[in-house]
Amino acid sequence: MPESNPRHFDTMASDFVIFTLAKVGAAFAVLMFFVAYVVWVERRLSAAIQDRLGPNRVGPFGLGQPIADAVKAFLKEDVVPAHVRKVWYCLAPALVMLPAILNLAIIPFGSKLGSQPMVIADLNVGILYALGIGSLSVYGIALAGYGSNSKYPLLGGLRSCAQLISYEITLAISVVPVFLWAGDLNLSCIIQRQAGTAPWLPLLPNWFVFQSPLTALAFVIFLVAAFAETNRTPFDLPEAEQELAGGYNVEYSSIKFALFFMGEYAHMILASAMLTTLFLGGWTLPIAGLDRPATTLAAGLAHIAIFLIKLVACMLVFLWVRWMWPRFRYDQLMDLSWRRLLPLALVNTLLTATWLWFRSLV
């Protein structure tokens, strides 16, 4: 046996660390950019829907408004009310933002750039990691309600706990048909399983949203549950300004309030990324060989662009729904989860497993 070269392993380890840190930095920068400018897009979109102008003073078309808002959030006085429970009050905003940042690790934003895969951690159980980490955000909102030591934040925190726990079960079960169809829990493998065109209609891509009525139903259930998990209209009961004056973040100001705001939009971006990965083919596109891992730098950049375009399209759905749909009552919210979506997701899983078993026999 030839002796191993320690310098070779040291070089490989240092390269791995450098490339991983570079991918972490790039993913975080992209997330923060999207968080800032998704807010600008939403304000312009809502203005167009309501026949207003929206932000148009800071820079051309108001493009400097997110920067001005960030500067204001950082420089504004951070007021901590005397009646709050200070430890939990200060910890809550970080717990809301942290899960979205951690979940960046398993999102395949592309295939490869050179020899580097465009995913930070290509886990074999990527979706389980995402569901586990994503569930931590409920602790941040619950602690915000408890730590604020005030009635409106407490009501918002309690609402959020019940809502997130209820829809998290539905969200988890809704993706089981995808894993049964793909035969894998690895997100990169799930994307590659969606390459090419649909076997029953070659005009359509082979994305899971088009592969069968069962996976299309899983997509609809996942989308509805994602709205509830991100506290977006029509499921924004934890904030409900008309009832709770803002809910769990009423007592917050300055950068702490900004962290709640950023956390909401970061979770929307991550939900859109999961929709893109699980149901919309990720970085694949069934034209010009763009459904295979990249072998050139141009193809790698094209895959990243394809993924981001799909992500933006999903984000626009989140933004559009907020300004077009009314809010549910709380009893309707719970009824939809426990008596409608959850049984439907369970039946869909059972039908998918039965169909795949029958197909394997034939």
Is 57 inside any structural domain? no
Query: Residues with Cβ < 8 Å from 101, sequence gap 6 or more?
Result: 28, 31, 266
d(CA 309, CA 273): 10
Is 1 inside any structural domain? no
5 confidence band (pLDDT: 50, 70, 90): low
**Lowest mean pLDDT segment, chosen from 8-22, 59-73, 268-282:** 8-22
Is 22 inside any structural domain? no
**Lowest mean pLDDT segment, chosen from 19-33, 171-185, 333-347:** 19-33
1 confidence band (pLDDT: 50, 70, 90): very low
Is 196 inside any structural domain? yes
Question: pLDDT, tens digit, for every residue of 307-325?
Answer: 999 999 999 999 999 888 8
11 confidence band (pLDDT: 50, 70, 90): low
Is 49 inside any structural domain? no
| pTM for the predicted model, two decimal places | 0.91
Question: pLDDT, tens digit, for every residue of 96-111?
Answer: 888 888 888 899 998 8
254 confidence band (pLDDT: 50, 70, 90): confident
Is 4 inside any structural domain? no
d(CA 362, CA 356): 10
- If one compares 307 and 296, the residue with the highest pLDDT of the two is 307
Asked whether the predicted pLDDT for residue 332 surpasses 60, the reply is yes
Question: pLDDT, tens digit, for every residue of 108-122?
Answer: 998 888 778 888 888
Is 320 inside any structural domain? yes
Mean of pLDDT values over 241-257: 80
220 confidence band (pLDDT: 50, 70, 90): very high
Question: pLDDT, tens digit, for every residue of 119-154?
Answer: 888 888 888 888 888 888 888 888 888 888 888 888
Which range is most confident: 240-244, 291-295, 348-352?
A: 348-352
H helix or E strand, kind and range, residue 12:
helix 6-49
d(CA 173, CA 214): 13
Is 177 inside any structural domain? yes
Domain count, the chain: 1
pLDDT averaged over every residue in the chain: 87
Mean of pLDDT values over 164-179: 91
Domain that holds residue 199: 84-361
